[in-house]
Amino acid sequence: MTAAGMAREATPREEGRAVTNVYIDCDPGIDDAVAILLAGGSKSLNVRGVSTVAGNQTVEKTTDNARRVVALAGMGCPVVRGASQPLLRPPVHAGEVHGDSGLGDSHLPASRTPLAAENAVAWLAESLQREPDPVILVAIGPLTNVALLLAAFPEVKPRLREIVIMGGAMGPGNITPCAEFNIYADPEAAKMVFRAGVPIRMVGLDVTQKVRATRSVIDKIRSLRSDVSEHVSGWLTSYADAVRALHGEEGGALHDPLAVATVTHPDVVTFEEMYVDVETRGGLTYGQTVCHPAGLTGHAPNAKVAVGVRPDLFWDILIDALRQY
Ligand code: RIB
Ligand code: CA
């Protein structure tokens, strides 16, 4: 663990990379927590703020978890609380996967750093306006905060270089046969974001389900023998137990960490330009992301959709980042 505030050495893969300013909007959530730690351990990222939203658990729990993880990482960035419920639909959570706390049976110490703001949307608008250059917003939870931000403060759109979304799928969903959880938890918000005219990269289940933290991955992380790696391996073990019990799958998919990794290493996935829209009136298809290859519907593409992934490179990126602690 580096002393708090000490500059971390760049990892071999990151040397020479420019530093990218990012904001993370999340619903910790085990994979969100690992994503925050990946970002905090990446020398080429400067995390300017972490905002929370209801999703995997209530916003009270996701906010408490975000504060604890940011403190564990020694990141020192502001944490702000966002929307407590979706725009329109009844709230949906994922306690069966992430546990009642949202972080499995984790025992992270409470953070002593107070919240920087109780209203993430207003705080994001004000912070983005102060940024000297456009930044990247990494959205790894339901898109409620992002939709509210773009609707209430459209003037911030030029301050966003792009929005990297963990969400959606060209193929089957994970919360219903057609929908991925982040989109399903607030389909109306997602529809607004895809229509907002801000550049989007969509990192969906088609690629994230190919990076699963199996026993061998967990053992490699535990072998780093740090406070951070001990917590991460514990979370991933309970995550793996949950997905085995629920779906008979081996290893929890690291959805959110892969989305973060595409910022530091864009070549970890391959993208195709598509027109993406969200089903908000369907019954069985409610929350489905319908991804049209360019030209199919006459709509201009509005997103770059991840279609391929390099799992070995991703695991190297994750281990390199966790090794910084
Ligand atoms: O479908 C996976 C997504 O839903 C991830 O962001 C996970 O944290 C949950 O929020
Ligand atoms: Ca998440």
Pocket test for ligand 1, best of 52, 62, 140 (most atoms within 8 A of CB): 140
pTM for the model = 0.94
Q: How many CB atoms lie within 10 A of CB 317?
A: 25
| Strand order from edge to edge, sheet including 303-309 | 79-81, 45-52, 20-26, 135-139, 160-166, 200-203, 303-309, 269-278, 289-293
Confidence of residue 2 (pLDDT cuts 50, 70, 90): very low
pLDDT, tens digit, 9 for 90 and up, residues 4-52: 333 334 444 455 668 999 999 999 999 999 999 999 999 999 999 999 9
255 is catalytic: yes
Q: Does domain 20-322 have CATH number 3.30.450.90?
A: no
Pocket test for ligand 1, best of 24, 255, 288 (most atoms within 8 A of CB): 255
Judged on CB neighbours under 10 Å (0-12, 13-18, 19+), 119 is middle
User: Which one, of 102, 200, 85, lies nearest residue 148 by Cα?
Assistant: 85
Whole-angstrom CA distances from 43 to 6, 19, 207, 255, 271 are: 12, 7, 24, 21, 24
pLDDT, tens digit, 9 for 90 and up, residues 39-54: 999 999 999 999 999 9
Considering the candidates 93, 231, 255, 265, report the single residue annotated as catalytic. 255
Domain residue spans of the chain = 20-322
Taking residues 132-150, report their average pLDDT.
98
How far apart are alpha carbons 179 and 288 in whole angstroms?
4
**207: which 2 tokens?**
């690629």
Confidence of residue 294 (pLDDT cuts 50, 70, 90): low
